[in-house]
Structure 1
Amino acid sequence: MTYTPFPVFHTCVEAVTQLSPHIIRITLAGPQLRNYAAHGLDQRMKIVLELPEGGYGDFGILDDPPPGLNQWYAKWRMLPADQRNTIRTFTASGIRPAQEEIDIDFVVHNPGGPASQWAQQATPGDRLLVVGPDSRAEDSTGGIDFRPGAAKRILLVGDETAFPAIRNILTKSQPETQYHVFLASEMVQDAQTVQQTGPNQYMHRVTPADGQLAVDIHEWALAQQPATPGFYAWIAGESGVVKQLRRLLVNDHHVPREAITFSGYWKRGRAEH
């Protein structure tokens, strides 16, 4: 049998945990999750929320077997706006196939978007469709962007939306590799959800005030000289900030473009799917 790399997992909320003032962890459970691939790192997955009146639009996601991600997503895009279920992209913050569980951390705000509102109202038993990697597929590593190669000096930069990926990366860190981590958050309690997990990890918790993060990274780079061989940077968060930091490292500190992975997880003033 051939397995699709990113199938639909039917799950239910098992637990809701307030990790910090703006981060809620939703633990999802379901027998299908025994096949959720535990690659970790920054691998992307998607959640599909029910329509406001309940249920799902006619785009095939509930077919048995469901079509591949590209097929049902193309149909979803063709639907009228009021028939399109909200889709959001996350990184699983915990994957436990043996227990048939995964964790997803939601950054919540008031007023918040559909995913934030769903997380704040979630109770055990609520249903959620998850689209993620299947361990039985020939290759389910799509959506992993953290690829440092042989680099031994790594810079990680991210806001609250990137904390799960940063946490996963640090958990799988190599003791001989040096990690410098910049966690941008308005509240220190949110940033404290990411902790050092091994040696050679240097944590910098900073506020994302306009321009301040770039100043901090600039000062760090002046001392660390990242343009030297063996360096790799991974930057994720708000799109404009991510692009600004990449330009800073490339133009001002001469870091090779290929030594930087950057991902705009969200864009200020715009809802992304």
Structure 2
Amino acid sequence: MSDVTFAFFHPRVLRTERLSPTLIRVVFGGDDLAAVVSGGRDQRFKLFLPRPGQDAPVLPDVLDSDWYPRWRELDPEVRGIMRTYTVRNVRRDPAEVDVDFALHGDLGPASRWAQQARPGDRVAILAPVVTDNGGVDFCPPDDTEWVLIAADETALPAVAGILDWLPADTPARVWIEVAHPDDRLPLPARANTEITWLVRPAPTADRTTALLSAVTAAGLPSGTPYAWLAGEAAAIRALRRHLVNDRGYPRPAVSFAGYWRQGTTEDELLTAAIEAAEESA
């Protein structure tokens, strides 16, 4: 049996759909996408975008398990732009993958690409080919009695995937911070799911305190919790500290991810992550 869990694919854009003022869905297609398998929930994958003037992203000549150091060795001004995204939907007939892009205020390269994407545009993805692939962070233990979710719009696709997957009898308290009232998209809502939307008063409003303030002020259920937090890095760290230090949540019961950092570009975050990984190697 193969131990390969992720593989490279080279799809094209089939169509785009504006979901809300802040979110754009891009549908990718290609016969080889029939091999893509999602673990659901917050399933992540790597997306490689072409740079301006390129027809397709530049990748290493050999795409095996050592692709990453080869990608790093390429000229940073030429190599494909790499970002991490959530698989929103996978379909088999026809083979399609949906990816929802949140448009950042600074319009980084991925945001700009998504707004300009047209049918036929070429990308590359490193996507899972088995369900149990290590790319899913939302993994509540068997003894979980209720779930807490806190996120901003960058994690809205992952929240939707989690709520799609969550057993109907599992209570969930959900807080989602968005930029515009119309970003409050329909989500799977069961009798045991309570969703609170937090709409920022202006695009330039602070993005580090709303979730923390809302969860801090909330009365939370009793019972064994599991928390999933994703969004702006400083906000998520503060929220995790609150749950662990003030609410007494066990650290393993809090899954958290900083999807972006206020005042820092995507490329700066990627460079910092690469340098940290190399220093710890």
Q: Give the alignment's TM-score, normalised by structure 2.
A: 0.86
Inter-CA distance 258–111: structure 2 relative to 1 (3 Å threshold) = closer
* Whole-Å separation in 1 of the counterparts to 2:31 and 2:243: 45
* Whole-Å separation in 1 of the counterparts to 2:210 and 2:41: 27
Secondary structure in 2 aligned to 1:196?
Answer: coil
Please provide the CA RMSD for this pair: 1.9
1:184 corresponds to: 177
Q: CA deviation at 1:85?
A: 1.6
Q: Are positions 1:31 and 2:31 aligned together?
A: yes
Structure 2 unaligned blocks of 5 or more:
201-205, 271-281
Query: What is the identity percentage for the equivalent residue pairs of Structure 1 and Structure 2?
Result: 34
Q: Deviations over 1:40-75 (max 9, x none)?
A: 111110110113231444623xx4xx312xx11111
Secondary structure in 2 aligned to 1:264?
Answer: strand
From 71, 74, 81, give the equivalent of 1:76.
71
Q: Give the alignment's TM-score, normalised by structure 1.
A: 0.88
* Number of residue pairs matched by the alignment: 259
Task: Indicate the larger mover: 31-40 or 20-29.
Answer: 31-40
Q: Deviations over 1:143-202 (max 9, x none)?
A: 111111121210011111111111011111212110111111121211x22423323110
What amino acid is aligned across from residue 256 of structure 2 in structure 1?
F
1:237 corresponds to: 231
* Whole-Å separation in 2 of the counterparts to 1:109 and 1:243: 20
1:9 corresponds to: 9
Q: Answer yes or no: is the 8 Å Cα contact 1:38–1:96 preserved in 2.
A: no
Q: Are positions 1:168 and 2:161 aligned together?
A: yes
Structure 1 unaligned blocks of 5 or more:
none
Q: Deviations over 1:222-266 (max 9, x none)?
A: x225xx542100001111111010011111111111110001111
Q: Answer yes or no: is the 8 Å Cα contact 2:46–2:85 preserved in 1.
A: yes
Q: Are positions 1:224 and 2:220 aligned together?
A: yes
Q: Answer yes or no: is the 8 Å Cα contact 2:89–2:99 preserved in 1.
A: yes
* Structure 1 stretches of at least 4 aligned residues deviating more than 4 Å after TM superposition: none
* Whole-Å separation in 1 of the counterparts to 2:253 and 2:173: 15
Q: Answer yes or no: is the 8 Å Cα contact 1:196–1:203 preserved in 2.
A: no
* Whole-Å separation in 1 of the counterparts to 2:59 and 2:124: 15
Q: Deviations over 1:89-147 (max 9, x none)?
A: 00011111232011001112454111111111111111111111013xxx742111111
* Whole-Å separation in 2 of the counterparts to 1:110 and 1:231: 34
2:274 corresponds to: none
Q: Are positions 1:198 and 2:193 aligned together?
A: no
Secondary structure in 2 aligned to 1:13?
Answer: strand
* Whole-Å separation in 1 of the counterparts to 2:77 and 2:112: 18
Alignment of 1:1-273 (within 5 A): 2=2, 4-54=4-54, 55-57=56-58, 59-60=60-61, 63=62, 66-68=63-65, 71-109=66-104, 111-135=106-130, 140-150=132-142, 151-190=144-183, 192-207=184-199, 209=206, 210-220=208-218, 223-224=219-220, 228-268=222-262, 269-271=264-266, 272-273=269-270
What amino acid is aligned across from residue 169 of structure 2 in structure 1?
E
What amino acid is aligned across from residue 166 of structure 2 in structure 1?
S
* Whole-Å separation in 1 of the counterparts to 2:186 and 2:119: 25
Inter-CA distance 3–147: structure 2 relative to 1 (3 Å threshold) = closer
* Whole-Å separation in 1 of the counterparts to 2:155 and 2:71: 27
Secondary structure in 1 aligned to 2:128?
Answer: coil
2:275 corresponds to: none
* Whole-Å separation in 2 of the counterparts to 1:123 and 1:3: 35
* Whole-Å separation in 2 of the counterparts to 1:21 and 1:200: 29
What amino acid is aligned across from residue 260 of structure 1 in structure 2?
V
* Whole-Å separation in 1 of the counterparts to 2:95 and 2:67: 25
What amino acid is aligned across from residue 41 of structure 2 in structure 1?
L
Inter-CA distance 140–83: structure 2 relative to 1 (3 Å threshold) = farther
